[in-house]
Amino acid sequence: MSDPASTPREHKATAPRSIGCFVLTISDTKTPETDTSGAVIRELLNAGGHTVVGSSVVRDEPADVQRVVRNACADPKVQAVILTGGTGITSRDSTYEAVEALLDKRLPGFGELFRMLSYQEVGAAAMLSRAQMGVRDRRIVVSLPGSPNACRLALEKLLLPELGHLVREVSR
């Protein structure tokens, strides 16, 4: 018989309820005032009882993205970094590569599930997304597309239900 303390339900029951999050928008055109995707993420996190420790908008330049992610992961108040934008396949989309290079561990199931759910909404275009999740310095790092609808889908269906559980596991 398996140990009941090792079940996902038990893990969730003992997981932190409020996670400190940093929200990073990657865009060559958005400003803090026009950043609708970052606003959706912050709104949903707050509504879910989480704390938005900080947020920022940076251009789609790998060095800038990496600097902000490194700094956020070094902040003891931050347990998760959620990025939006730069995950597509245009010549300027470099978030995937910038984040991938920083990760200690990868959670490919996140991207797979996100694309599966996204397929139900946008069809085969879902394959263009390079959404990803991983771990850096015992923090959860998630890269989402720049679309507000994609951010809402990812938060409502994947991140909000599991964020406490993810942080509990990565903190052990």
Q: From 3.40.190.10, 3.55.10.10, 2.40.128.20, 3.40.980.10, which CATH number describes the 18-170 domain?
A: 3.40.980.10
**Domain spans of the chain?**
18-170
Average pLDDT over residues 50-64: 97
Asked whether the beta carbons of 56 and 26 are under 8 A apart, the reply is: no
Q: Is 20 helix (H, G, I), strand (E, B) or coil?
A: strand
Whole-angstrom CA distances from 77 to 63, 82, 149, 169 are 23, 14, 28, 17
Q: What is the pLDDT of residues 117-166, one digit of tens each?
A: 999 999 999 999 999 999 999 999 999 999 999 999 999 999 999 999 99
Report whether pLDDT(1) > 70.
no
Q: What is the pLDDT of residues 15-36, one digit of tens each?
A: 888 999 999 999 999 999 999 9
Q: Name the H helices within 26-159.
A: 36-47, 62-74, 95-100, 108-122, 148-154
The pLDDT of residue 3 is: 54
CA 96 to chain centre: 12
> Please, which pLDDT band fits residue 8 given cuts at 50, 70 and 90?
confident
The average confidence (pLDDT) of the chain is 95
- Its pTM stands at 0.94
Average pLDDT over residues 58-66: 97
- Residue 30 C-beta-side C-alpha neighbours within 13 Å: 23
